[in-house]
Chains A and B, each alone.
Chain A
Amino acid sequence: GEDVEQSLFLSVREGDSSVINCTYTDSSSTYLYWYKQEPGAGLQLLTYIFSNMDMKQDQRLTVLLNKKDKHLSLRIADTQTGDSAIYFCAEKLDSNYQLIWGAGTKLIIKP
């Protein structure tokens, strides 16, 4: 079946760039999403990319999509303490409206 995989943890120094990776199995994705979950809060959409795009940039965020390798990444430039959160990757399939979610990557910021 469909599957989305992410590493559970990523640790970076404040001011460095963070790169969170995600792989997925279903090639019929239409949209791929990055959501952010801060402690004790719900999920908030950070950014998304349409499956026919390779890259999307939005201020400090850069999303790269390699459709051939089914690999999605989220780069956060100049990582700040406020970026501490769990980041979820999700794909929307062409076949139905359900989102397939990764388990989330907890981003830990070291001073």
Chain B
Amino acid sequence: NAGVTQTPKFQVLKTGQSMTLQCAQDMNHNSMYWYRQDPGMGLRLIYYSASEGTTDKGEVPNGYNVSRLNKREFSLRLESAAPSQTSVYFCASSEVLEDEQFFGPGTRLTVL
């Protein structure tokens, strides 16, 4: 079991460029999450998906879109990257919303 995998590990973008961060889990979990982690701050929830076919906004959804492609995969898209989106992005999954969350290794994104 690989657990939660994320690609890419690192990415540098120019302002205005777009990109998609990929996340996949092999634990047959129903719920998946995208967080961002900024220095001196706790994790902030961007979007989550309670189950396949549903997505909901978290605390900081502006500037992002998500797709729950199937039960395994949950992608995060930045349509027009801004320097304020420079952060480390973590994907997580859990059996259901109430359960322990398992995290991927993160994607470090820099927007110039």
Which A residues fall within an 8 A CB radius of B?
A: 4, 8, 35, 40-45, 48, 88, 90, 92, 97-104
Nearest-neighbour CB distance to chain A for B91, whole angstroms, equals 9
Q: A41-B105, A43-B103, A88-B43 are in contact. List 17 more A-B contacts (CB 8 A).
A: A4-B42, A35-B103, A40-B106, A41-B106, A42-B103, A45-B100, A45-B101, A48-B100, A97-B48, A97-B97, A97-B98, A98-B58, A99-B43, A102-B42, A103-B40, A103-B42, A104-B42
Which residues of chain B are within 8 angstroms of A99 by Cβ–Cβ distance?
43, 45, 101
- List residues of chain B with CB within 8 A of the CB of A97: 48, 50, 97-98
| Alpha-carbon distance A104/B97, docked complex (angstroms) | 23
Evaluate whether A42 and B43 lie within 8 angstroms (CB atoms) in the complex, with A48-B100, A98-B59 already known.
Answer: no
A65–B104 CA distance with the chains assembled, in angstroms: 28
Interface centre among B90, B97, B103 (most CB of A within 10 A): B103
Which B2-50 residues sit within 8 Å CB-CB of chain A?
4, 40-45, 48, 50
Contact of A42 among B50, B90, B97, B98 (CB under 8 A): B90
The answer to whether A43 and B42 have CB atoms under 8 Å apart is: no
Residue in chain B with minimal CB distance to A89: B42
Please measure, in the bound complex, the distance between the C-alpha atom of A104 and the C-alpha atom of B58, giving whole angstroms.
Answer: 20
**Partner among A8, A43, A103 whose Cβ is within 8 Å of the Cβ of B90:** A43
Contacts of B58 in A (CB 8 A): 98
Question: Which residues of B have CB within 8 Å of A43?
Answer: 43, 90, 92, 103
